[in-house]
Amino acid sequence: MAGKGVGGSKGRGAAGRSDAAIALRRRIGRVLMIAAGFAVLWFAVEGGEYGTFDLVRQGRAEARLRAEIDSVQRIVDSLAAYHKRLQTDVELQERIAREEFGMVKGAHELLYRFAEPGVDSGGVRR
């Protein structure tokens, strides 16, 4: 009887352990399959060149660039209007001639002669 009990005990113990090992392997397999499913799902959403975060970042960059383009377009429009005004507005042309080139208008002409210090009008050094 002792031999039978020991042999029977071993058989049940080995079977019990193998059932537990099989159940553990199945659980590990399920966990790995679920993890692989999540990995595939994550790659489908985020993987590749155009993932969700990349698209959000590109959207922000596009908005920033559109704002810069609008700003530059306003500057270009302003300069085009100034250019047209400069070609057609006589008063603006005269003002620029006075301010930039020191020109005077009509009867208001005054001539100034600038000489080096120590030289008289005849060019003789004192």
- The pLDDT assigned to 123 comes to 57
Cα separation, 93 vs 91, whole angstroms: 5
pTM comes to 0.47
Cα separation, 124 vs 126, whole angstroms: 6
Per-domain residue ranges of the chain: 1-47
* pLDDT tens column, 38-77: 999 888 878 777 788 888 899 999 999 999 999 999 999 9
Identify the CA nearest to 114 among candidates 97, 96, 98, 102: 102
The first and second tokens of residue 38, run together, are 């999540």
* pLDDT tens column, 62-121: 999 999 999 999 999 999 999 999 999 999 998 888 888 877 776 666 666 676 776 565
Question: Is pLDDT at 126 greater than 60 in this prediction?
Answer: no
